[in-house]
Every structure is written in structure tokens, then in C-alpha cells.
Amino acid sequence: MEAMIERCVGLDVHQETVVACVLFGPLEKKPKKSIESFSTTTSGLLKLHDWLASLEVTNVVMESTGVYWKPVWNILEDNFQLVLANAKHVKNVPGRKTDVKDSEWLAKLLRSGLIEGNFVPPEDIRDLRDLTRYRKKLINNRTAEQNRIHKILQDANIKLTSVLSNIFGQSGRKILEAIINGEKIEMENLRDMVHWRTKASLEDIAETINGRIRRHHRDMLRYHWDHMAYLEKAIEELEEQIDHCLTPYRKEVELLDTIPGVNKAGAATFIAEMGVDMSVFKSAKHLASWAGVSPGNNESAGKKNEQNNKR
């Protein structure tokens, strides 16, 4: 393999240790080799940083093993040119497998320019990505709690969903809170609770909430309701933090918001997942593949696997 980088290092990263193999020397000669192991604590990674700097290393490669590569990346990214390799693409030839051999193999591939790194966005985009992904999880959790409330209402023979398209809207929430609190809902109370734009009549709504609700139902509704309220508050706080992180990217958000079907929340997700610098993607096809909207291409003996092509 023809050498292209004079001083590079391959890192085999684990939860507690990092094995580093540095290859250095003239490109036309066999490189010298230096191997060391370091702890993944902050002090250990700083020692790794200083050791690489003392050897005048310029390029670093590591595999994307779980989340263990992230603290190493955070320590080294300001002073070295980093490459995050796909483990599938840099798989070593069969044989004895050791941490030293793995790090040396990575270094050899990097020295020859044979590793194409994965896209790793800047730190502020990575922070935004954590927030948007967590927001999605909380929204899913909130939906799960709402589904549980639906289930309990059906068990109590309360058919509120038959007359209200969204029982978690303004009118539905007032009625649900009254049910949870064990209040007796008269027609006058119902008139104050139901928004004037609600299509269903008060008589129909009164009929649907006349169920057989027990103390157990109210207790379960209370648990789910309180958790849903907590999740909604957490989502609101996340939205504020996401909005703050998007401050440097207002122009990009406004442009994405002009796309039909994309709102500001969607624009934040786009930026968090793909960044704003499209030059890191070779083509529109690479970008589509990264975004997960590119269909698979699985063919054998002239036949395509249509099931795998569905996304």
C-alpha cells in the first residue's frame, strides 16, 4: 500500500482503555512504530493528547464503537485531523485479533489513505442533535401516556373520544381534570368547560361521560395525567433550549421553514442531523443516504430483494 501520511495514529478504543499505534517516517520507507496504552479517564486522554503531540502526529483514526469514541474525540478534535471509521469498512483480515493488531491495522489504512471517515458534525450541532433526539423520545413518551389514558377511559365506559376529536385539547382537558378530581359534572359546569367552537352538543358530551368510573380508574388516570404534565413541561423547556442553540442558524431555519411540510421543529431536526455545511457530502445521493431516505439496492442473480428496498 502506498503511503500518503507521514505521521498518523490508529486508536483501538474501549470503555476503560485506548491502545494507540503511531506510524511515522518518510513516505518512501517502511514507517517506524510506537505503541502505547492509555486510560479513558480525562487525565489518561490528556496524556494521550500530549504523547501524540510529542510525536508530531497530524492524523488520527478510530472506530465508531458505541459511544466510547466520543470522549476521545472531544479531547483530540481541536489539535488533530480526526477520522471516524465505520467498523464494517475497516474490518481486518481473519486471524489472531488483539487490541494492538487492531490499532496497527487502522494506522496502516490511514497512512495509505484508505479510510473514508464518517460525518461528525461540530460540537454545537452535536449538542443540538442530543436535544432534538431527546425531544423526540419525550414526545413518544407523552403519546404513550395519552394512549394509556384512552385505555382507562374505555375501561370506565367513558366515550369522550366519540364526541371530541382530541380529548387533550382545551375542552377535553377541563373535563378530564374534573373526572380525575371526582367532581360531579352538571350541565352548567359542562357549559363552562366546553369551548364554544366544539361541534358536539352538550347533551352528547354529557352522555359520553356518564360511565362507571371507580376510584381505581381515577387513581390510574391521576398517575398518567401527572406524568404527562411532567413530560409536557420538560418538552417545553427543551424547546426553549433548542431555540437558543439555533440562534446562529436563524437564516438556515427560515429557509428550511419555507419547504412545504417542514415547520421550525422539523428544520431544527434537519440541522441537528445533517448540519449546515453540505460540502461534507460528496453529492445529493450521499446526503439522501445519510438522511435515511435512500432506498436499498439488494440484488442477486439479477433479482432485487423488494422487501429490503422499502424504507
List per-residue pLDDT tens for the chain, 311 residues long: 688 999 999 999 999 999 999 999 999 889 999 999 999 999 999 999 999 999 999 999 999 878 999 999 999 999 999 999 987 778 765 656 788 888 999 999 999 998 888 889 999 999 999 999 999 999 999 999 999 999 999 999 999 999 999 999 999 999 999 999 999 888 988 999 999 889 999 999 999 999 999 999 999 999 999 999 999 999 999 999 999 999 999 999 999 999 999 999 999 999 999 999 998 888 888 888 887 777 777 777 667 665 444 43
Q: Which CATH class is domain 125-245?
A: mainly alpha
Task: For the full predicted model, state whether its pTM sits above 0.85.
Answer: no
Q: Report the relative pairing of strands 7-13 and 59-63 from DSSP bridges.
A: parallel
The strand pairing partners of 278, in sequence order, are none
Instruction: Let me know if the fold of 7-111 is the same as that of 125-245.
Output: no
Extents of the domains making up the chain: 7-111, 125-245
What angle, 0 to 180 degrees and rounded to 10, lies between the N-to-C axes of helices 123-155 and 264-274? Answer: 130
Longest dimension (CA), the chain: 92
Q: What is the pLDDT of residues 172-189, one digit of tens each?
A: 999 999 999 999 888 988
Select the CATH number that applies to the domain covering 7-111 from these four: 3.40.50.300, 3.40.50.150, 3.30.420.10, 3.40.640.10.
Answer: 3.30.420.10
| Dihedral angle sign, alpha carbons of residues 218, 220, 222, 225 | negative
Q: What is the CA radius of gyration of the chain?
A: 28
DSSP state of 224: H
Cβ–Cβ under 8 Å, residues 20 and 37: yes
For residue 292, the tally of other CB atoms under 10 A from its CB is: 8
